[in-house]
Amino acid sequence: MTQYAISDLHGCNRTLLALLDQLAFSKADELYLLGDYVNRGPDSKGVIDTIWRLQAEGYQVECLMGNHESMTFRNFDTEVRTGLPQPSGSLLVESFGVQQLSELPETYIHWMRTLPYYREIPGYILVHAGLNFGFGDPFFSQESLIWIRDWHNQIQHDWLGDRTIIHGHTPSMRFHIEWMFDHLDSQQVLDIDCGCAITSTAEDGFGQLCAFDLSNRRLSFQKNVEERVR
């Protein structure tokens, strides 16, 4: 059994499937997805449908909340309540074949709003954005768990103990992810968001989906293979 973490899929369903194929992901493995399934890429619905299909077929897939899920269901609620159009990515609503956010199927919105904000497994803390060490309990602020940036220098290693924090949210070039991986023992933190949907700067090391093998401490990368991104 191998445990994997992947973050920031952003509507890149074909790229997710290609990465899972590269990993030879099986029903004996565990996959932790760290949020941001929607927006930016062309197939937000397809990403969620793939997750649901894998779970229905017996694959062990657990999902966390990302800031884009939070924005989506909050804007959905506001649009339904007020009748006023709220911000939403055009590719998001297009992937569902609708015109506005309030037309999204309630089953998808319910799934987004019920996602957990973090997960602890032996040796690791998994979270979308990071932890706010300005609080006595770094898990206290849910907003920080999905929104915080520039927090690595605030990590309290005494509190962290022998755990390592794996997160996404802040796009990092591949060489920077590999640098963090090389210093994992001392830094105890790894950002695995390689800007999958940022294909316009792929030559700078973005435009890739990153998987971290939690069991064997290995990185895998898959270049974006979507037909259409923004």
The domains located in the chain, with CATH, are 3-223 (3.60.21.10)
User: Over pLDDT 90: what percentage of the chain?
Assistant: 93
pLDDT band at 119 (very low <50, low <70, confident <90, very high): very high
Could you report the per-residue pLDDT of 149-208, keeping only the tens digit for each? 999 999 999 999 999 999 999 999 999 999 999 999 999 999 999 999 998 766 779 999
Buried b or exposed e, range 3-39, using 16+ CB within 10 angstroms: bbbbbbbbbbbbbbbbbbeebebeeebbbbbbbbbbb
Q: What is the pLDDT of residue 204?
A: 75
Distance of alpha carbon 58 from the chain centroid? 21
pLDDT band at 227 (very low <50, low <70, confident <90, very high): confident
Distance CA 14, CA 160 (A): 36
Q: What is the pLDDT of residue 174?
A: 96
Distance CA 227, CA 41 (A): 9
Q: Under a CB-based contact definition with an 8 Å cutoff, are residues 2 and 213 in contact?
A: yes
**Averaged pLDDT of the chain:** 96
Report CA dihedral (216, 167, 51, 66) to the nearest 10 degrees: 170
Q: What is the pLDDT of residue 216?
A: 98
Could you report the per-residue pLDDT of 59-93, keeping only the tens digit for each? 999 999 999 999 999 999 999 999 999 988 789 99
Q: Under a CB-based contact definition with an 8 Å cutoff, are residues 214 and 121 in contact?
A: yes
63-68-74 Cα angle (round to 5):
105
Distance CA 195, CA 39 (A): 12
Task: State residue 108 phi and psi, 5-degree precision.
Answer: -75, -40
Round to the nearest angstrom and report the end-to-end CA distance of the chain: 36
Sheet containing 30-33, strands listed edge to edge, beginning at the edge strand earlier in sequence:
60-63, 30-33, 3-6, 208-213, 218-223
Q: Which of 29, 25, 32, 28 is nearest to 9 (CA)?
A: 32
Q: What is the pLDDT of residue 187?
A: 98
Is pLDDT above 60 for 229? Answer: no
Q: What is the pLDDT of residue 228?
A: 62
Give this prediction's pTM: 0.97
Q: What is the pLDDT of residue 89?
A: 79
Q: What is the pLDDT of residue 200?
A: 76
Is pLDDT above 80 for 48? Answer: yes
